[in-house]
Chains A and B, each alone.
Chain A
Amino acid sequence: DIQMTQSPSSLSASVRDRVTITCRASQSISRSLNWYQQKPGRAPKLLIYAASSLQSGVPSRFSGSGSGTDFTLTISSLQPEDFATYYCQQSYSSALTFGGGTKVEI
């Protein structure tokens, strides 16, 4: 299976901060990388697919980049509703795998 490693596992930030989360794949996955946001007690929500494509309805302060093995999720100006846990996930292989998550806290 392809292993996905996220860093950091948690971070503290303030409103209007620029936040960057990284995700590394154990082998090249081209651009088959997705990002999700999960709030407590809720199902995950797709933010970014294919490494950099913004899912419909997701604010433009979210952006993704990368290809091959290294990927980044950036929140350009953190808003109060963005405090949540973020997961990366690869769909290059039919055996889907997720990163361990990054909790964004105040």
Chain B
Amino acid sequence: QLHLQESGPGLVKPSETLSLTCTVSGGSISSSSYYWVWIRQPPGKGLEWIGSVYYIGTANYNVSLKSRITISVDTPKNQFSLKLNSVTAADTAMYYCASQYQLGLNSWGQGTLVTVSS
């Protein structure tokens, strides 16, 4: 079973860039069996897919966020990362990383709360 752990600042100022990293253990991020996924959940609301990346670096992004997102893979470190620029208060959320195996998101990190505030 994979273990995923998010890390990054819990507070980001408006207009700045949110940067998070997900460290994967218990398996290789270079496995062709997985997609690596970022999901967020604003306080008291539902789940929103942010984007996914494959181990070779090809990524798919939520069209509503596409102009602001970069998701990348660092295979030597067994990590993948999210950068979301020009953040506003609407980007305040719990951010989760997860692995997609076959169809389902079968392993999730515990989540990290990111607040956008000056």
Contact = CB atoms under 8 A, between A and B. Distances in A.
B105 A44 contact: yes
B62 A44 contact: no
Interface of B: 37, 46-49, 52, 60, 62-63, 96, 98, 100, 102-106, 108-111
A46 to B, nearest CB: 5
Contacts of A1: 63
Interface of A: 1, 32, 34, 36, 38, 43-46, 49-50, 55, 87, 89, 91, 94-101
A46 B105 contact: yes
- DSSP majority for the B interface? strand
B47 A98 contact: yes
A50 to B, nearest CB: 5
B60 A94 contact: yes
Contact of A96 (B52, B96, B109, B110): B52
Given A91-B100, A94-B60, A55 B46 contact: no
B104 A34 contact: yes
